[in-house]
Structure 1
Amino acid sequence: MASPPCRISLLLLSLFSLLLFSANSQSAPAPAPSGPIDIVAILQKSGQYTSFLRLLNETQAAEQINNQVNNSRDGMTVFAPTDNAFSNLPSGTLNNLTFQQHVQLVLYHICPKYYSMENLQTVSNPVRTQASGQDGGVYGLYFYGPAGQSNQVNVSTGIVNVPIYNAVRKDFPLAVYEVSKVLLPREFYEAPAPVNSPPPPRGNGTVGSGGAASAPATGSPAGSGSGKMSVGFGLVVSVISLWMGLFL
């Protein structure tokens, strides 16, 4: 039979084992679910994108980005100019743009697909942006790696050329890359194609091959010169006939 001190030791050991088992049997708390991606919160956290954030909100592009990255399998890529990039624009650049051009400028910084840095090194140019619609040749971006720098990618608009150094966010479905220049599209500097003038309205006449209107097919209009000549000639003939009848 165990002595009292031995009993106490066994009791303490059993109690310790029970507590240890109970602690281990409790499941670890589940990690808190991550919330939806918010481009505004991402850029605000970095603290150097005030001008770009203002344009994103004014044009409602921020809402468009959040909707797509949280509900699409394609993801998105955003090229975010810093405040210094906007400060280095020529004076009056943004003020001289219409609101529609502000929208196009913001959408030009957004690609409707997720691109990692490795993707950008091998992507086929031009790359469509949100300003392109279905035609990547219009408002498209061009990516290339400088010679001898396999890990570097430059982005070009045809007007602006800038290297991509820093990834503000690089995880799918949203990649956000910092750029030190505002990506001004070349379409802002190209003269628009002339609009063809509409054809002249068709009236009673039709336009012939020479461009002159031909007369209606119903004959000469009333009161024309040929009608007056016919009437005058007939009157002369009648007077001569009457004179000859009186004196012959």
Structure 2
Amino acid sequence: MMKNQLVLPFSCIAIIFLLQIAPITSQGPAGAPAAPASPTNVTAILEKAGQFTTFIRLLKSSLVGDQLSSQLSNQKSNQGFTIFAPTDNAFASLKSGTLNMLSDQEKTQLVQFHIIPSVISLTQFSTISNPLRTQAGNTDNGQFPLNVTTSGNQVNVTTGVVAASVDNAITSNSKLAIYQVDQVLLPLAMFGTPAPAPAPGAPKKEVPVPSRAPSGSDSAPVDSSDAVANTFNSRTLAPYVVAATLGGVLLF
């Protein structure tokens, strides 16, 4: 009887001990680091959205797409981007051969002209300052200026060559905003009409300069009254001189 009484309390203690250590062993290691965020792939986002085949091809061939994904995946960088993505219909509306006539560098600049190195939400478009600076660089007139205007809920993008409308947002977060546009954004530096050369000026006509007598000339002005008097005297005395001459001859 005494032996059974000792076994029962010991069993209870063992059960209580096991119940206490069970939660401890079931817990995972404290403070485990969170899984890293998946890298942002710009071309994958556009492929999922559809109708951006030509723009995706340009992003890949120019390596701009890889550069964007690399910068967006850098956890230490706060760099964000806004991309205006033209649809396949937008590229189809270009004049035939437009892309083929561009060099590889110009194709890269064309893609970069659709990218702004900061994140702009739809509500911020109404308060931003124009012109916007793109990845293509210089915003001077005749180079790569990009202007955004709003009218109500409508957002328009102008380049000096074309005017495009923002149709909808494909994605928008703290590091990346992609907007669908209905026109390919053509920069002035590549597609602008060059200013006509100034017309040559008409030759200047030479104005004749009246000649003047040299200074210190000894010629004195002729008095017209003296000339008339001399002429009158010569004409008046001429007959008498002739008569006197004839008379002298006859007398001889």
Residue 51 (structure 1) shift: 1.4
1:192 Cα shift? 2.0
TM-score, structure 1 as length reference: 0.61
Q: Per-residue deviation at 1:106?
A: 1.0
Instruction: Mark the runs of 5 or more structure 1 residues left unpaired by the alignment.
Output: 197-209, 211-248
- TM-score, normalisation: structure 2: 0.60
Q: What is the aligned counterpart of 1:192 among 194, 218, 222?
A: 194
1:57 maps to what in 2? 60
What is the letter of the counterpart of residue 57 of structure 1? K
Structure 1 CA distance, aligned partners of 2:62 and 2:29?
Answer: 50
1:24 aligned residue: 27
Q: Report the Cα distance in structure 2 between the residues aligned to 1:178 and 1:117, rounded to whole angstroms.
A: 12
- The answer to whether the aligner puts 1:144 opposite 2:149 as a matched pair is yes
Measure, in 1, the Cα distance between the counterparts of 2:56 and 2:25. Answer: 51
Q: 1:163, CA displacement in angstroms?
A: 1.9
CA RMSD of aligned residues (A): 3.5
The 1:121–1:29 alpha-carbon spacing in structure 2 relative to 1, beyond 3 Å, is same
Structure 2 alignment gaps of length 5 or more: 199-203, 205-252
Is residue 77–residue 176 contact of structure 1 (8 Å, CA) maintained in 2? yes
**1:145 match: secondary structure:** strand
1:123 CA displacement: 0.6
Q: Deviations over 1:36-87 (max 9, x none)?
A: 5443344344444321121112223224434554475443222122334334
Distance 2:81 2:45 in 1: 14
Contact 1:166 1:178 in 2 (8 A): yes
In our comparison, the structure showing a higher alpha carbon Rg is 2
- Alignment correspondent of 2:183: 181
Length, aligned pairs only: 193
1:136 CA drift (Å)? 7.4
2:83 pairs with 1:78? yes
Give yes or no for contact 1:78–1:109 (8 Å, CA) kept in 2: yes
Q: Does the residue aligned with 1:178 lie in a helix, a strand or coil? A: strand
Amino acid at match of 1:102: K
Q: Percent identity?
A: 38
Q: 1:138 to 1:170 in 2, by over 3 A?
A: farther
Q: Would the aligned equivalents of 2:142 and 2:189 in 1 still touch at CA under 8 Å?
A: no
Give yes or no for contact 1:154–1:164 (8 Å, CA) kept in 2: no
How far apart are residue 20 of structure 1 and its match?
A: 0.9
What amino acid maps onto 1:116 in structure 2? Answer: S
Label 1:187 to 1:133 Cα distance change in 2 as closer, same or farther (>3 A): closer
Correspondence for 1:13: 16
Structure 1 CA distance for aligned equivalents of residues 14 and 92 of structure 2: 75
The whole-number CA distance in structure 1 between the counterparts of 2:17 and 2:172 is 52
Q: Which deviations, in whole Å up to 9, do the C-alpha atoms of 1:210-230 show, x marking residues without a partner? A: 9xxxxxxxxxxxxxxxxxxxx
